[in-house]
């Protein structure tokens, strides 16, 4: 495994919170995923769209992208348009801004063998801009004190701080599938202070496999999450509530359980998948056995089935209107809005409890409605 993979910027959120997890993850195979492959395709398309928009002579990679679709096309177009708008804003105060696409950024002064690739770096009039594209739609990513972005910014400063008079750093997460554009600005002095006082000493611990294990939200993408004892202890703390009926719990106990419920469910599923994978490989777990799961009947040849039913004088097909996503993909967004914009609506969502940090506004309850009256 490469040193870059050990203390990568993309995994910095995890190893900064749990330094020994970096070395622990070395013993686990990096299997990748369809989501990662889709993200790679999206970044390739974004790079092409942006370079083309900047006037470079580049080859269209679309035919080689496994996950290319109309949504990815729109996302890449929107990303390129956003960066161009940013460049124009910088050009209004700086006649000749620096614009770098897919730039290698080395921050090894603070992290052993630390380097990564910045999607876009723009420099002009004392401000360094670092823009990162995120294709995922599962988790909204914030730029606020985002360690990956801060590492990238440090790498950009290593290249340009001695050439340009930079005093401010602005970091942007562009995540179109979540309609999320998150921007965070800090002074260069504050960034260097974080690098020297937090990043560098923690990276030194992580590289040596030292420090304290710590469980939390950062466990989500940890390769060792299914067998980590610290994560198990963290989730098993719920056992101290002795599985009391909810009505017998104190308010602060209910709030504490809500805060861990999602992570607890994810941990249980991780352990289940880990145990199943090893059982299939031959491992036996005390009190458990591997059996064949339930299955449903399937046709051996759908074409033959269709022909047989048609010959019998019957219709073998199920007819229903395409779903909104499939319909929009077939028609294209503009055509969809033109033809069906007035025939769609968004019903009110089901009430959901979320942490106070969630950006969505609180809804009125029967109690608040009564108080307003």
| pLDDT per residue as tens digits for the range 317-360 | 888 888 888 888 889 888 999 999 899 988 887 887 777 777 77
The model's pTM = 0.69
Q: Are residues 262 and 120 in the same domain?
A: no
- Residues in Cβ contact with 51 at an 8 Å cutoff, skipping those fewer than 6 apart: 58, 101
Left (φ > 0), alpha (ψ -120 to 50) or beta: where does 140 sit?
beta
Residues 152 and 89 in one domain: yes
Instruction: Say if residue 95 is in the same domain as residue 240.
Output: no
More confident residue, 300 or 264: 300
Q: Look at residue 308 and tell me if it is in a domain.
A: no
Asked if residue 196 has pLDDT above 80, the reply is: yes
Burial class (CB within 10 angstroms; exposed 0-12, middle 13-18, buried 19+) of 174: buried
List the domain range (segments joined by +) for residue 258.
225-280
Q: Using an 8 Å Cβ cutoff, are 239 and 245 in contact?
A: no
Of 160, 182, 208, which residue is a domain's last?
A: 208
Give me the percent of the chain exceeding a pLDDT of 70: 92
Same domain, 181 and 235: no
Q: What is the DSSP string of 64-120?
A: G-TT--HHHHHHHHHHHHHHHHHHHHHHTT-SS-EEEEEEEEE-TTTSTT-EEEEEE
Q: Are residues 112 and 170 in the same domain?
A: yes
Q: Which of 191 and 261 is assigned the larger pLDDT?
A: 191
More confident residue, 24 or 27: 24
What's residue 163's pLDDT? Answer: 84
End-to-end CA distance of the chain: 64
Residue range 121-147, pLDDT digits in tens: 999 878 999 999 999 888 889 999 999
Average pLDDT value for residue range 80-93: 92
Separation of alpha carbons 100 and 112, rounded Å:
24
Regarding whether 67 and 124 lie in a shared domain, the answer is yes
**Most confident among 26-35, 157-166, 246-255, 363-372 (mean pLDDT):** 157-166
Is residue 123, in this structure, part of any structural domain at all?
A: yes
**DSSP summary character for residue 352:** -
Percent of the chain past pLDDT 90, that is, above it, reads: 46
pLDDT tier for residue 108 given thresholds of 50, 70 and 90: very high
Domain membership flag for residue 148: yes
Q: Which of 178, 208, 238 represents a domain boundary (last residue)? A: 208
Q: What's phi and psi for 183, nearest 5 deg?
A: -125, 135
Of residues 199, 150, 145, 206, the one with CA closest to residue 18? 206
Which string of DSSP letters, residue by residue, matches 244-301?
A: --GGGS-HHHHHHHHHHHHHHHHHHHHHHHHHHHHHHTT---TT----PPP-----S-
Q: What is the 3-state secondary structure (H, E, C) of 294-327?
A: CCCCCCCCHHHHHHHHHHCCCCCCCCCCCCHHHH
Report yes or no on 8 lying in a domain: yes
In a domain, 307, yes or no: no
Q: In whole numbers, what is the pLDDT of the chain averaged over residues?
A: 86
Q: Considering the domain boundaries, does residue 363 fall inside one? A: no
**Is the confidence at residue 3, as pLDDT, over 50?**
no
Evaluate whether residue 100 is within a structural domain.
yes
Both 131 and 190 in a single domain? yes
Indicate the pLDDT class of residue 365, thresholds 50, 70 and 90.
Answer: low
List 124's β-bridge partners, or say none. Answer: 127
**Are residues 88 and 17 part of one domain?**
yes
More confident residue, 360 or 373: 360
pLDDT tens digits, 131-190: 999 998 888 899 999 999 999 999 999 998 878 889 999 999 999 999 899 999 999 999
Is the predicted pLDDT of residue 240 greater than 70, yes or no? Answer: no
Looking at the fold, whether 8 and 144 belong to one and the same domain comes out as yes
Q: State how far the Cα of 10 lies from the Cα of 112, in Å rounded to an integer.
A: 15
Are 158 and 251 part of one and the same domain? no
| Domains: count for the chain | 2
Considering the domain architecture, whether residues 99 and 170 belong to the same structural domain is answered as yes
Angle at 182 between CA 179 and CA 184, to 5 degrees: 175
User: Is residue 275, in this structure, part of any structural domain at all?
Assistant: yes
Check whether residue 266 and residue 169 sit in a common domain.
no
Q: Among residues 233, 256, 280, which one ends one of the domains?
A: 280
């Amino acid at each position: 495994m490469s040193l870059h993979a050990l203390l990568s910027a993309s995994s910095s959120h995890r190893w900064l919170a749990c330094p020994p997890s970096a070395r622990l993850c070395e013993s686990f195979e990096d299997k990748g995923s369809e989501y990662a492959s889709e993200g790679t395709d999206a970044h390739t398309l974004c790079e092409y769209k942006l370079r083309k928009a900047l006037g470079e002579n580049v080859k269209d990679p679309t035919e080689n992208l496994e996950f290319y679709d109309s949504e990815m096309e729109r996302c890449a177009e929107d990303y390129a348009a956003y960066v161009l708008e940013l460049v124009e804003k910088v050009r209004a105060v700086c006649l000749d801004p620096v614009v770098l696409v897919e730039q290698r950024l080395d921050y090894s002064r603070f992290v052993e063998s630390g380097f990564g690739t910045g999607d876009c770096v723009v420099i002009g009039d004392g401000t360094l801009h670092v823009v990162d594209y995120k294709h995922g739609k599962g988790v909204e990513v914030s730029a606020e004190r985002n360690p990956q972005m801060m590492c990238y910014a440090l790498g950009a400063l290593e290249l340009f701080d001695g050439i340009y008079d930079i005093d401010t750093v602005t970091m942007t997460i562009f995540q179109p599938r979540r309609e999320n554009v998150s921007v965070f600005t800090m002074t260069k002095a504050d960034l260097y202070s974080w690098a020297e006082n937090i990043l560098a000493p923690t990276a030194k611990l992580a590289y040596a496999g030292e420090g304290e294990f710590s469980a939390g939200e950062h466990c989500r993408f940890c390769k060792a999450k299914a067998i980590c004892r610290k994560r198990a202890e963290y989730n098993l703390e719920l056992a101290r509530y002795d599985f009391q009926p909810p009505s017998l719990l104190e308010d602060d106990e209910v709030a504490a359980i809500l805060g861990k419920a999602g992570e607890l469910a994810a941990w249980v599923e991780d352990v289940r998948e880990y145990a199943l994978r090893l059982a299939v490989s031959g491992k036996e777990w005390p009190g458990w056995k591997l059996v064949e799961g339930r299955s449903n009947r399937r046709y051996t040849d759908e074409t033959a089935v269709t022909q047989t039913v048609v010959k019998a004088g019957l219709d073998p097909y199920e007819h229903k209107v395409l779903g909104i996503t499939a319909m929009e993909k077939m028609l294209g967004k503009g055509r969809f809005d033109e033809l069906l914009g007035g025939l769609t609506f968004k019903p009110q969502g089901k009430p959901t409890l979320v942490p106070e940090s969630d950006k969505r506004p609180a809804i009125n309850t029967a109690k608040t409605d009564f108080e307003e009256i």
